[in-house]
Structure 1
């Protein structure tokens, strides 16, 4: 994954980095003053007679102390140190070692910390050009005043003056080149670090979203399973209890039979709930995802429960049954279960016909009744939503509509995937 960071601007230094810069600036200034004292003590003045001691201290401090602000105002600090460095050299200030390092650090800081990359490039190029221009002018001026015997021990193949100029130019090219290159490298490294942090944050966000989606999917699955298990059996129990109440005084024997059916439905509901909760508690790969072992082999029990609830229910299997994947078998069972539940709760039907057809490349589920044929609006309720989700998950089609002869029909078709028994 690549994140485009062209408009990125490097943030300024942290408070801790600012405190560090102040300490570094003071330490470098102290080191430069110490070196200035040592140079004056040795009396080796390479540039010529130096100015007075106060002026030497001034130029040394001007070339080093601004480093305390190098990451907050890199371009300004680089310009100030460059001007002070040239002025100090022109005035023959003897301290060169530490002030040269300060100039290097200032040019480097512009490349590493300047937020405006165009300004950073222009400032560095301008400083380098000005330095080489001043070097050229000072070289011309100094060579005109050289005595004839200034190089008495020269023995190389090049003219002494030419060799000195080439050496000075090469040294300055390396000096400023490395300062420029390392500054850009530091800025690029910071930019890539920012890019990695952005990518890591996006990865964490996508993982959190995926985890949330998985949790929501699991909640939907639990809600669907609870609806399928509880709604069906409770609906059957409600219908059976109502029928028992009507015949209790007239036919006690039949009432006892119907109460036994209510009891059995309750036990079945509790058993399926227990098995499903155990499944949710255990989870993990390899666990049977059919709560209660629900599959097409148990559709006859659903029809028997509907018959016990007072419906004239029939069940037929057409074609040659073949072993089905567990998920497909469960989906078919749940769709039939939900269709029977809707018939008991909403249709006011007296007849129910359940058919399973095994075609050459398709499994068809057909549940029809003779009720009112006026279902709830499409998409309302968990039952119809659950049906559509199960069918869609298996690349099937679902049709729910009123029958021309009266009643309502639920028909689902699944691509038939055969598995080894």
Structure 2
């Protein structure tokens, strides 16, 4: 029942379905009094499909309506039928309760154990009581037995359905745990491959430099340069790994390319669609950026624009990207009222997340109200030193 189309989940349509079911039941025993009980029973079973929306939202209410409709058909048959109607026409009138049994099965499958037990007891009691009143002669025992078996079968089918669903949920949870474990092992291998060799080189060069620093200063200086280069490369690799882990929930590299500052125009257009016009300014020499810097700068702008849309209450803002030789400056400024503090005075986790991104790259981020009004977020992200080949 969780896979029902969205329209059937509407509360209005659910109530309309319940009313349509009652109308269908009224037409069944009011419009064709000479029809056999079997025809009425099958009609009640088909009419139960109108309860699909209500069954999705409120199974106990759907079961109550199904029991009410089935009982109405059974109880009205003798009074509505002409006196000359043959007794055979009454045979099968209790088939109407099959509709209630179907609803009972779904109720047991989707509700808790206590609610399922109560629903089964109520359904069984109502059916046995009504059959005991309106069945006569040899048909009494047979109809009581059939009703009891049908109720038990519906409850068992519901239990099997619930166990199957719970088993599927458990399997999915197990798959998630196994996926997390596999990802941890992959990360451990990646970090080991990334760090172990570099740390070994650093340790060796540090030992060599310590021994020859007094007698061979030039060689010692070369060892220190090797340590510096290796350390920077290792740190950059660690940062890339950490950034990729932080972004695992936002972007799946196998499905879409990683966004960067080249995508700011598209982000500005999307923000404009949300009601805030973005003035985008770019200064400095535009050159390829390290992937982790490019991604983090984009995410900082994205989060800041999200805060403007949600909290600033203003129709425009300005985004400035200044790409220098050693630093990337990203600034987002608006003239609005700024974030609305929560109960404890905190403005949420947006600024915290942006500061973490900047700190992860060795940069800094500031954010707060402007003296002239509005709010300003500025991120300073360090860039690698350009080599002679890049400058040339």
Of structures 1 and 2, the one with the larger relative CO (CA 8 A, separation 6+) is 1
Q: Which TM-score tier does this pair reach, normalised by the shorter chain?
A: 0.3 to 0.5
